[in-house]
Structure 1
């Protein structure tokens, strides 16, 4: 990426907007951090990584391959409102999509409000981010759709009509959580719910491999699955559902990973049950236990995304206490939003992994 001077104010075509570009999170101003933290559920794809990068920078480790762009509205009497934050970031597994989070109330997100802000964000992106790096956009649904159309028009790189992922962002709190006393045996099966340990790495890797195989185009080979499993276990970010049937030895039936975490919010990012153990309630049992652990460990909320076409998972999460997933109630709920990941022509971009 072109070099910055840590912060660059990018000229806009609207006098009421300010675009700032940062290649160091240490230079991101307090007003932006406050907006991100105030909206910790909505910003779960960005805030946890930004805080990790900040910790590294404070320890003297700087990574110039990550970029953050902010869009701020300028009001009367010097009033400033953080509208959008965009990130071009990565982790140990690869480069993330372009993320855009909104930090203004959901009713603000109309075409008229979004379009000029995206236009200026895109102008800044084209100056500082290589075109091939933008392999997909993940954002609230309307933002993602408008961005994809505007990016294609501006760059000539077409986008796919069918999203890679279309999901509902939901969350669970200590008040919405539905506890249920777990039993030790179900249908002749006994089980243990626990954090994964080093000896579970092959089993967790197989589940990572299975999860990725259902997440085209972000597939993994065995080496990648092992790398991810080792990372999850060493970071203490994955629990497993261990099952015994009769006199046979224990098997890992299911895993739940939560990899985007702040002091107030945890985000469940992978739930996977092996084919032979489906239909026995493993996922619901383990998700409930993980949420109970997280909420009783000081987290105020547990967030996740559930695909619109995944009825079984939606039912599981609703039963645990995740909000806004009741199909019989269509009333909008603050913080529950439709999100979409839209991919760009893979012959012209470099696919990452997340």
Structure 2
């Protein structure tokens, strides 16, 4: 992607390295633009779209906002990026520098940081984070989960937390979400140096996750099909006329979480935003009681990359539950998405076995009544006290 390499809109990274007990060094790179982040890590995230679904879509979104489009750099682009920077990294490491000029962190719309192991001139990506908009900090790793040992995690999470403290205002990090073992390690390091303790249950005084879930997926091969709908029932992409009918479901969905409630006005805006982006699907039923078409269930299709799309915000109005609407809308949406994608991904909370059963019957692997699957991972969101709460 030479055009991005030459673009004046690509701001450079700041670099810092720390020695570790294993061969090589751990390098933490703070990217001053999404385009710079994509030049370094975009090709790797593209090759690991399943794992990178919480980071890659936001990096592409902000790269486009910077005026650099949504093209993904190639491996050659990444190699060129490293050739330009590796000598300065080695020199900086020799001086014992961290790349931090001592200034205070400033609020930006998005932060992107990557963590690498550099050994004999060969670089390998260990972790990458995106902290964008008002969303949590999202963590990606292309590493096999068997690599996530304390010996591997501690120096990398310590270095990452230190760089985060230098560039991200600490109150901005209200929560972090990713594979459970790295997140627990990073949360401990961040809590130690930032002064923001991990959120705990006041009664039990134990860490209480904001969210703890299985990360699963459905493919054309595992998809079980969509059942025909009864008369006067329809599933469709929402349009502007659905904003006010979909908003109450958005509000109820958010308010099911004690951590991320949504106001009535916020729900209307959220519904309108998703409708404008053609992300929201609705299940419509003609209600003879009101002689009107009611929106009884909804699903959002978000975090869209070349091969993968995520579904979220699966919600059925309480008065319409128990009729199979959730399974029907999820199945129909999966059927449509899988016409163009190789996988549909979602998170299902450990404390929601009913939802896991529904998703398993649609064809999501490793959840519900399905046998365990090696690619289904345990993900966790941990929150922090005395921060500015965002939402997602």
Q: Alignment partner for residue 89 of structure 1, among 112, 121, 132?
A: 132
**What do residues 142-179 of structure 1 show as CA deviations (whole Å, max 9, x unaligned)?**
11211222212222221121101000100111111111
Question: What residue is the counterpart of 2:55 in the other structure?
Answer: 46
| Aligned 1:90-129 pairs, distance under 5 A | 90=133, 95-129=134-168
Residue pair 1:166, 1:338 contacting (<8 A) in 2 also: yes
Q: CA deviation at 1:329?
A: 2.8
**Is residue 65 from structure 1 mapped to residue 109 from structure 2 by the alignment?**
yes
Question: What residue is the counterpart of 2:223 in the other structure?
Answer: 177
Question: Distance between the aligned counterparts of 2:239 and 2:146, measured in 1?
Answer: 44
Q: CA deviation at 1:58?
A: 2.2
**Gap change, CA 1:317 and 1:150, over 3 Å in 2:** same
Question: What residue is the counterpart of 2:302 in the other structure?
Answer: 259
Where structure 2 has 5 or more consecutive residues not aligned to the other structure, the ranges are 1-9, 70-106, 200-206
Higher relative contact order (CA 8 A, sep 6+): 1
**Is residue 333 from structure 1 mapped to residue 374 from structure 2 by the alignment?**
yes
**Is residue 33 from structure 1 mapped to residue 54 from structure 2 by the alignment?**
no
**Gap change, CA 1:174 and 1:328, over 3 Å in 2:** closer
Residue pair 2:280, 2:300 contacting (<8 A) in 1 also: yes
**Is residue 353 from structure 1 mapped to residue 387 from structure 2 by the alignment?**
no
Q: CA deviation at 1:23?
A: 2.0
Question: Distance between the aligned counterparts of 2:319 and 2:187, measured in 1?
Answer: 39
**Is residue 12 from structure 1 mapped to residue 18 from structure 2 by the alignment?**
yes
Question: Distance between the aligned counterparts of 1:119 and 1:110, measured in 2?
Answer: 14
Residue pair 1:257, 1:269 contacting (<8 A) in 2 also: yes
Q: CA deviation at 1:45?
A: 1.1
Residue pair 1:23, 1:64 contacting (<8 A) in 2 also: no
Question: Distance between the aligned counterparts of 1:11 and 1:180, measured in 2?
Answer: 52
What SS does structure 2 have at the residue aligned with 1:203? Answer: helix
Q: Kindly report the root-mean-square deviation, in angstroms, between the aligned alpha carbons of the 2 structures.
A: 1.9
Q: CA deviation at 1:327?
A: 5.0
Q: CA deviation at 1:13?
A: 3.9
Question: What residue is the counterpart of 1:321 in the other structure?
Answer: 363
Question: Distance between the aligned counterparts of 2:136 and 2:328, measured in 1?
Answer: 31
**Gap change, CA 1:316 and 1:31, over 3 Å in 2:** same
Residue pair 1:169, 1:303 contacting (<8 A) in 2 also: yes
Question: Distance between the aligned counterparts of 1:44 and 1:110, measured in 2?
Answer: 23
Question: What residue is the counterpart of 1:167 in the other structure?
Answer: 213
Structure 1 or 2: more strand by fraction: 1
Q: CA deviation at 1:29?
A: 5.2
| Aligned 1:272-291 pairs, distance under 5 A | 272-291=315-334
| Aligned 1:159-308 pairs, distance under 5 A | 159-160=198-199, 161-185=207-231, 190-246=232-288, 248-296=291-339, 298-308=340-350
**Gap change, CA 1:41 and 1:54, over 3 Å in 2:** same
Question: Distance between the aligned counterparts of 1:175 and 1:201, measured in 2?
Answer: 34
**Gap change, CA 1:69 and 1:59, over 3 Å in 2:** closer
Residue pair 2:17, 2:26 contacting (<8 A) in 1 also: no
Question: Distance between the aligned counterparts of 2:259 and 2:127, measured in 1?
Answer: 27
Return the TM-score normalized by structure 1.
Answer: 0.90
Q: CA deviation at 1:274?
A: 0.3
Question: Distance between the aligned counterparts of 2:292 and 2:371, measured in 1?
Answer: 44
Which has the larger displacement, 151-160 or 131-140? 151-160
Question: Distance between the aligned counterparts of 1:177 and 1:5, measured in 2?
Answer: 43
Q: CA deviation at 1:106?
A: 1.9
What SS does structure 1 have at the residue aligned with 2:301? Answer: strand
Question: Distance between the aligned counterparts of 2:371 and 2:218, measured in 1?
Answer: 17
Return the TM-score normalized by structure 2.
Answer: 0.82
Question: Distance between the aligned counterparts of 1:149 and 1:25, measured in 2?
Answer: 27
Q: CA deviation at 1:9?
A: 0.6
What SS does structure 1 have at the residue aligned with 2:228? Answer: coil
Residue pair 1:237, 1:257 contacting (<8 A) in 2 also: yes
Q: CA deviation at 1:199?
A: 0.8
**What do residues 59-97 of structure 1 show as CA deviations (whole Å, max 9, x unaligned)?**
69xx94311110111234x2221110011211xxxx111
Residue pair 1:171, 1:323 contacting (<8 A) in 2 also: yes
